[in-house]
Structure 1
Amino acid sequence: MNMTEMGEVVAYLLRYRTAERQPGNGRKRRAAREGQLAERDVCALIDDALDTEREALRDFLAGQGLRLKVFESGDYPGIAPGSRLYALLPDPELEQPPLYTREPVFDALRLRQESRAELAQWYLQLWLLMQTLLYTRLNRALSDVSRYQEATFATSELIGLLREQLETLRAQGEGVPETSRALLEERGEDIARRVKAFIDLQVRAGQLETVREARDGAESEIWQQTLLGALEAEQVGVHHLSHLVDLLSGEPRPSAQEVDDESVSVAEEDRDTSGIAPEADEAQDDLLGMDGDSDAASVDERAAEERA
């Protein structure tokens, strides 16, 4: 694998996040497209690479805060016998460079002239509700990666959950947090449109895939978590939520004054000139580590999980 081929392999992985020798679940191999190798060629280049070439590829990805993990057919269900899955994941021990943007997310969710802070709230609400469907409903832990094929939901279910969430907020009356009031200004089909845009983002990011499409409007599309999505969710749990485990195990909680002091300190350090509230900005930074131009969304969802 020469440097040109390595660049083509990396470009493919940034676009799709995974490559399989023999795709499972009935998926067809991705064909070559303009400026992009075919999936079969990507796998062949990685398989046939010399140890020194593999090391060079690892070093190249590490410079972007990424790593390439390899899974065989016996590692997780859904990987065909004799196949091999290559997955591009963010490395939790490395810092990702600031070359990715959140703009595709804002563009996708924007229906009118909402601010970035309001759009961040919509994304965060939708992401947390999706986790309810993929994990809480199944009584499933983040470490239950092998159960990813069970993690399915219908578009209509996410729409329904979002409607319930908004009704719960409305019931609070004047007690609704200022940052959440923009969510109550939806009109007509706003909810369905935002849910569709959100799901499309997750599909582009390699986090979801369709297992049944709607037919003649008679049924809602059914979506399944991908192995990549389950692996990234587990990574978040292992590397970014250990402090929650301490709380559950009986570690003493900080006093209210300590929490207030820390919040002020964090807000002062993390205030963003874009005008997004610090907490919403953090959530977006962590949830969306990769941009839509590369069609890959690194899901370091630390901030969103902390708020769950």
Structure 2
Amino acid sequence: MNMTEMGEVVAYLLRYRTAERQPGNGRKRRAAREGQLAERDVCALIDDALESEREALRDFLAGQGLRLRVFESGDYPGIAPGSRLYALLPDPELEQPPLYTREPVFDALRLRQESRAELAQWYLQLWLLMQTLLYTRLNRALSDVSRYQEATFATSELVELMREQLETLRAQGESAPESSRTLLEERGEDIARRARAFIDLQVRAGQLETVRDVRDDGENDIWQQTLLGALEAEQVGVHHLSHLIDLLAGEQRTDAQAEDNRESPLTAEEMRQDESAIELETDDTQTDLLGMAEKGEGVEVPHTESQETAIKDRASEEERT
């Protein structure tokens, strides 16, 4: 594999994210297109490369914050016997270059003249609801990568969940987070249009693939998580969201300590330190999610109600003391 061929392999992987010797699930091999190799040729070039050439390819991808992972037929369901799947994944140990931007997300979800912050809120809500459909309702952990073929949902299910989310938000009235109230300005078919645009983004990113196409009613298309999507979700959970578990555990410990110490309240100084710690952890969470937005994985999220309530309660108690 010479440098020209390596560039063609990288171009293909950047476009499709995966290449497979013998595609499973009835998918046909991707044919060559103008300026792009065929899937068969990409796999052959990687398979036949010398170890020194593979090392050069790894170094080239690492410079872009990426890693090429190889999976055999016995590693996960859906990989055909005798086949091999190459998946291009962000390397969690490397910094992503600025060429990975959020612009495709904003362009896809924009219906009128919404601000970037408003579009980020739409993406966040749809992304979280998709995780509900792929994980929560299946009682599935992010580490359950091998169950990716079970993770299916219909377009109409995502639309309905989004409607329910907005009704819940509307019922909160003035107590709803200010940053989320812009979602309530949706009109007519906004939800369905944004949901379809969001799903298209996930398909283009290799996170979802169609299972059944009901051509007379696009709202009932069935989508399945891809192996690439399951691998990335696991990686996001381990390397980007694991601190949220620690944050929740910390809140539980704080609640337990407050119950034990009702007769021995915190001093004003202790409360100020505790409040600062909560704010710091929340800021770190927002920064991580904003970083994921650049990879098409997530966007910024406001303070949770439990965190805001904890801060307000402690401030009130400090004033009384």
TM range, smaller chain: 0.7 to 0.9
Question: How far off its partner does 1:239 sit?
Answer: 1.9
Aligned counterpart in structure 1 of residue 292 of structure 2, from 286, 292, 297: 286
- Partner of 2:228 in structure 1? 228
Larger radius of gyration, structure 1 or 2? 2
What CA distance in whole angstroms lies between the structure 2 residues aligned with 1:283 and 1:262?
19
What CA distance in whole angstroms lies between the structure 1 residues aligned with 2:46 and 2:28?
19
Distance 1:186 1:74, change over 3 A: same
Aligned pairs, how many?
A: 288
Mapping of residues 125-140 of structure 1, within 5 Å: 125-140=125-140
Q: Aligned partner of 1:27: which letter? A: R
Aligned counterpart in structure 2 of residue 261 of structure 1, from 276, 281, 284: 276
- Partner of 2:260 in structure 1? none
What CA distance in whole angstroms lies between the structure 2 residues aligned with 1:4 and 1:253?
58
Instruction: Classify the secondary structure of the residue corresponding to 1:5.
Output: helix
What CA distance in whole angstroms lies between the structure 2 residues aligned with 1:73 and 1:42?
18
- Partner of 1:293 in structure 2? none
- Partner of 1:202 in structure 2? 202
8 Å contact 1:19–1:85 — kept in the other structure? Answer: yes
What CA distance in whole angstroms lies between the structure 2 residues aligned with 1:182 and 1:247?
28
- Partner of 1:42 in structure 2? 42
Question: How far off its partner does 1:17 sit?
Answer: 0.4
Structure 1 or 2: more helix by fraction: 2
Structure 2 runs not aligned, ≥5 long: 256-269, 305-321
State yes or no: 1:161 paired with 2:170.
Answer: no
Question: How far off its partner does 1:219 sit?
Answer: 6.6
Which whole-Å deviations, capped at 9, do the CAs of 1:72-101 have from their partners, x for residues lacking one?
A: 000000000000000000111111111221
State yes or no: 1:16 paired with 2:31.
Answer: no
- Partner of 1:5 in structure 2? 5
Structure 1 runs not aligned, ≥5 long: 271-277, 290-296
8 Å contact 1:212–1:222 — kept in the other structure? Answer: yes
8 Å contact 1:241–1:302 — kept in the other structure? Answer: no
- Partner of 2:310 in structure 1? none
8 Å contact 1:102–1:284 — kept in the other structure? Answer: no
What CA distance in whole angstroms lies between the structure 2 residues aligned with 1:156 and 1:173?
26
- Partner of 1:74 in structure 2? 74
- Partner of 1:89 in structure 2? 89
More displaced stretch, 249-258 vs 20-29: 249-258
Distance 1:170 1:54, change over 3 A: same
More displaced stretch, 40-49 vs 230-239: 230-239
What CA distance in whole angstroms lies between the structure 2 residues aligned with 1:179 and 1:96?
28
What CA distance in whole angstroms lies between the structure 1 residues aligned with 2:214 and 2:280?
49
CA RMSD in angstroms comes to: 2.6
Give % identity. 80
8 Å contact 2:247–2:281 — kept in the other structure? Answer: no
Question: How far off its partner does 1:218 sit?
Answer: 8.4
